């Protein structure tokens, strides 16, 4: 396996820029790639803002911030990943888009380069099958926000070679994360396999009029000691993203506990996609992003 000194991150959104920040702060050269240079530059600007806040909080020195920023370059198009030692894909959670991305990467990077997908739920096997090197394709699921959350799920596809898994586990450790190995390719892996039914049941409790969204979240945070209630988490991760994942789960498992609740479909139709747009289950202050009290 190739020694990893440089990482290409494909997709400069919230997850991609977070992974790029983590890699740059850990000493890796990073190419942050998106379809448009402006999007990649926006991702770099977000990294710069987050690192500035880390300096303000005393988590980083000003020199460390500058060194990390110097290691990241924005770029347009997957061709920019051609010389990378390791690639992490973090594009939109759409299986066909991911497969197209991996086909393009497969034709570009060296044969000894690992292609990792940050998908939270999709099939590693199917993504790998879109390439000529399924043995070098692995799941590497970071959690949001990537610079803060310490867990990385490393997932086998059907054809993933043990050396590929070992390389992904090693990179996660070098990034200061705690990797866990998911030995079979199954929708949602570990965390989302457990989390998605929790969010679905929380929605059903509200739909059935058992409790308000606020009381459901209070029950889970205080009763189960979760740091965030399931409906607050729904807004945080994106209502539309959750709908896509739930629909994928149901298409794979064909079990009623994975069916997308009516509440989520109604929120998506109303454009209430969560905190990112200022409205979801809850409303948010556009200036601060903080949740507003119920009307």
pLDDT at 287: 85
The domain limits of the chain are: 6-182, 191-277
Does residue 277 surpass a pLDDT of 80?
yes
What are the tokens at 12? 């400069």
CA distance 120 to 295: 34
Residue 58: partners with Cβ closer than 8 Å, 6 or more residues away:
none
The CATH architecture to which 191-277 belongs is Orthogonal Bundle (1.10)
Task: Using DSSP, state whether 182 is helix, strand or coil.
Answer: strand
pTM over 0.75: yes
What does DSSP assign to residue 291? B
pLDDT at 229: 97
pLDDT at 2: 85
Q: How confident is the model at residue 294 (pLDDT cuts 50, 70, 90)?
A: confident
pLDDT at 289: 86
Q: What is the mean pLDDT of residues 105-119?
A: 97
CATH class of this structure's domain 6-182:
alpha beta
124 and 14 in contact (C-beta within 8 Å)?
Answer: no
Model pLDDT for residues 81-103, shown as the tens digit of each residue: 999 999 999 999 889 999 999 99
Phi, psi of 154 (to 5 degrees): -110, 120
Q: What is the mean pLDDT of residues 187-203?
A: 96
Q: How confident is the model at residue 128 (pLDDT cuts 50, 70, 90)?
A: very high
Does residue 170 surpass a pLDDT of 90?
yes
Rg of the chain over CA atoms, in angstroms? 19
What are the tokens at 257? 């506990």
Q: What is the mean pLDDT of residues 8-32?
A: 97
Ramachandran class of 149: left when φ > 0, alpha when ψ lies in -120 to 50, beta otherwise: beta
Catalytic annotation, residues: 120, 141, 153, 192
Does residue 1 surpass a pLDDT of 80?
no
Does residue 295 surpass a pLDDT of 80?
no
Q: What is the mean pLDDT of residues 133-148?
A: 96
Pairwise pLDDT comparison (230 vs 287), residue with the higher score = 230
Q: What is the mean pLDDT of residues 258-274?
A: 97
CA distance 134 to 92: 21
Q: What is the mean pLDDT of the chain?
A: 96
156 and 128 in contact (C-beta within 8 Å)?
Answer: no
Does residue 132 surpass a pLDDT of 90?
yes
Percent of the chain with pLDDT over 70: 100
CA distance 203 to 231: 7
Residue 176: partners with Cβ closer than 8 Å, 6 or more residues away:
22, 26, 150
């Amino acid at each position: 396996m190739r020694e990893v000194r440089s990482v290409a991150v494909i997709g400069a959104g919230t997850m991609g820029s977070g992974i790029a920040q983590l890699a740059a702060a850990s000493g890796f050269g990073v190419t942050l790639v998106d379809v448009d240079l402006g999007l990649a530059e926006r991702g770099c600007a977000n990294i710069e803002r987050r690192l500035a806040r880390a300096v303000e909080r005393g988590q980083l020195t000003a020199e460390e911030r500058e060194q990390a920023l110097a290691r990241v370059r924005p770029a347009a198009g997957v061709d920019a990943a051609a010389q990378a030692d390791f690639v992490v894909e973090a594009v939109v959670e759409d299986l066909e888009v991911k497969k197209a991305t991996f086909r393009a990467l497969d034709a570009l990077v060296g044969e000894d380069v690992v292609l990792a997908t940050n998908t939270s739920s999709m099939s590693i096997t199917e993504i790998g099958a879109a390439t000529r090197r399924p043995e070098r394709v692995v799941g590497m699921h970071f959690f949001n926000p990537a610079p803060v959350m310490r867990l990385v799920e490393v997932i086998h596809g059907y054809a993933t070679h043990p050396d590929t898994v070992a390389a992904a586990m090693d990179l996660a450790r070098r990034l200061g994360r705690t990797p866990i190995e998911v030995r079979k390719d199954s929708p949602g892996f570990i965390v989302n396999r457990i989390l998605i039914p929790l969010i679905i049941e929380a929605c059903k409790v509200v739909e059935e009029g058992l409790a308000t969204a606020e009381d459901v979240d209070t029950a889970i945070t205080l009763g189960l000691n979760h740091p965030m209630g399931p409906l607050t988490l729904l807004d945080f991760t994106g209502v539309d993203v959750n709908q896509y994942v739930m629909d994928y789960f149901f298409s794979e498992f064909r079990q009623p506990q994975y069916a997308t609740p009516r509440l989520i479909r109604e929120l998506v139709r109303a454009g209430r996609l969560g905190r990112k747009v200022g409205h979801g289950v809850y409303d948010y202050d556009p200036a601060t992003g903080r949740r507003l009290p119920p009307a």
